[in-house]
């Protein structure tokens, strides 16, 4: 559904995206992850025809985005970081306006608008002014706007930033339903890594370049399934005490994180017994996608 080959985007001497390739099949839930400034939004903008790559090629739904951008736009939906709704109009007015932009008559759009409002439990609010809605409701309407014309691909650029947990969960329940029922291909960027855990595949980029790609569980396995967290007032002393050159570790927010691979589980007791007297607290937990993100975002660590 999406094929990007060696795409690069340069702004003068600054390289925002560097020789990036992606292959995303139909119906896949795909996560594009990385720290701020890594090139995620620039990549989304290139894939969705908003900006042209400096070099490389992109096709969406079999159409070259540079040769047929108008055709590509008919098959994609985009939910921006910032809302694209008119806050002075009602929910229904916003949606019918969007339908008009896609050359869909009000009569033809009516059943689709009602279907989506029911799906998002907003039918009773259809006449409410968007400016008076909660943040979660506005975001839901943004998503409805993005899928109103039944696209093949939906781009979600940090769609739930700033929302409370119940609103985020509600939105993701609806997105999953759209994927399951309509074979929608979804490309997500997010800083809430737990939202990317259900993805079929994720790609981590850093400074515009791909650093790792795969199913979330596969990447977690590569990192190591166990993380030891060590809290102490003198982190350097803890490192010296443990002689951590034998172990793979990083410091995050003043906490010492040590990753343990499956074949190294015998190290758990050694580490805990060595640091027990000097550490304020030691905890052992399962690793997750946040840990993968931290290791890949660090300048000195990876998953090998």
pLDDT tier at 177, thresholds 50, 70, 90: confident
Q: Which domains does the chain have, with CATH numbers?
A: 2-215 (3.40.50.300), 225-286 (3.30.70.260)
Which residues, other chains included, contact 15 with Cβ-Cβ below 8 Å and sequence gap of 6+?
A: 8, 9, 208
- b/e sequence 97-124, b meaning 16+ C-beta within 10 Å: ebbeeeebeeeebeebbeebbebbebee
- Predicted confidence at residue 263, as pLDDT, reads 61
How large is the average pLDDT for residues 27-51?
A: 94
pLDDT tops 70 at residue 80? yes
Residue 162, burial from CB neighbour count under 10 angstroms (0-12, 13-18, 19+): exposed
Q: What is the mean pLDDT of the chain?
A: 90
Could you give the percent of the chain with pLDDT greater than 70?
A: 96
Between 267 and 87, residue with greater pLDDT: 87
pTM of the model: 0.87
pLDDT tops 60 at residue 301? no
pLDDT tops 90 at residue 209? yes
Structure confidence by residue, pLDDT tens digits, 122-170: 999 999 999 999 988 999 999 999 999 999 999 999 888 888 888 888 8
Structure confidence by residue, pLDDT tens digits, 84-99: 899 999 999 999 999 9
67 half-sphere exposure, CB direction, 13 A CA radius? 7
Could you give the percent of the chain with pLDDT greater than 90?
A: 62
pLDDT tops 80 at residue 171? yes
């Amino acid at each position: 559904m999406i094929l990007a080959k060696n795409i690069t985007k340069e702004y003068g001497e600054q390289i925002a995206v560097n020789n990036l390739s992606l292959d995303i099949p139909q119906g896949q839930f795909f996560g594009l992850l990385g720290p701020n400034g890594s090139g995620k939004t620039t990549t989304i903008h290139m894939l969705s025809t908003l900006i042209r790559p400096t070099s490389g090629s992109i096709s969406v739904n079999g159409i070259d985005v540079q040769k047929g951008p108008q055709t590509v736009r008919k098959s994609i939906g985009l939910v921006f970081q910032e809302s694209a709704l008119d806050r002075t109009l009602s929910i229904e007015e916003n949606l019918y306006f969007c339908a008009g932009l896609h050359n869909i008559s009000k009569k033809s759009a009516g059943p689709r608008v009602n279907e989506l409002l029911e799906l998002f439990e907003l039918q009773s609010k259809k006449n409410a002014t968007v400016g008076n809605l909660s943040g979660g409701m506005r975001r839901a309407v943004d998503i409805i706007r993005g899928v109103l014309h039944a696209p093949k691909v939906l781009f979600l650029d940090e769609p739930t930033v700033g929302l409370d947990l119940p609103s985020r969960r509600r939105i993701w329940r609806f997105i999953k339903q759209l994927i399951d029922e309509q074979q929608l291909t979804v490309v997500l960027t997010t800083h809430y890594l737990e939202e990317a855990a259900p993805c079929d595949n994720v790609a981590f980029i850093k400074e515009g370049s791909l650093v790792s790609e795969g199913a979330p569980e596969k990447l977690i396995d590569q990192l190591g399934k166990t993380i030891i967290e060590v809290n102490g007032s003198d982190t350097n002393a803890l490192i010296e005490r443990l002689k951590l050159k034998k172990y793979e570790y990083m410091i995050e927010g003043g906490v010492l994180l040590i990753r343990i691979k499956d074949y190294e589980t015998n190290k758990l007791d050694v580490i805990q017994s060595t640091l027990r007297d000097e550490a304020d607290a030691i905890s052992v937990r399962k690793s997750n996608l946040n840990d993968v993100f931290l290791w890949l975002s660090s300048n000195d660590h990876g998953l090998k």
